[in-house]
Amino acid sequence: MTAKRIMSNPTDCIFCKIGSGQIPSACVWTSKEAIAFLDVNPLAEGHTLLIPKQHFADLRDIPADLLGRMLAQAPKLVDAIVRATGASGLNFLQNTGASAGQAVFHVHFHFIPRQANDGLGFRWNAGSYEPGRADALQAAIKAWL
């Protein structure tokens, strides 16, 4: 069964408005098709978001070639954010779907600078597979690709 997807409306989308300059953002980098700006409620100082200017609800919707051009900027962004904040690490995150924490349904990538012992955490409780379950999942995922 496939979970119902939230399809946001581009005419009422906060990130479309940031992309078009209708509402202000603390932009750190822009191109004709993408923009990176500071998250207004940062998990750490320097927390930055990278978005396409065109509206796509989540990672399943954005064309691969546009995604590739956008993500080509990621290494430079990581380096600049780490240098500017004095961070010793950075989490590069993407939330797809409300259950994964997506609140803004215009695809975006988080760059969250990290320091040792900053209290943000990153260890999730890892599980394990019952015999045969990993094989079944491997086959199912491959079948959908």
Catalytic residue numbers? Answer: 108
Contacts to Zn ion from residues 51-80, by CB under 5 A:
55
Q: Which of 6, 101, 135, 138 binds ligand AMP (CB under 6 A)?
A: 101
102 forms part of the interface with ligand AMP (CB under 6 A): yes
47, 115 in Cβ contact below 8 A?
A: no
103 forms part of the interface with ligand AMP (CB under 6 A): yes
Q: Which of 15, 37, 109, 111 binds Zn ion (CB under 5 A)?
A: 15
Quote the CA–CA distance of 96 and 111 in Å, as a whole number: 15
68 forms part of the interface with ligand AMP (CB under 6 A): no
> Which residue's beta carbon is nearest to the bound Zn ion?
13
Interacting residue ranges for Zn ion, rule: CB under 5 A: 10, 13, 15-16, 55, 106
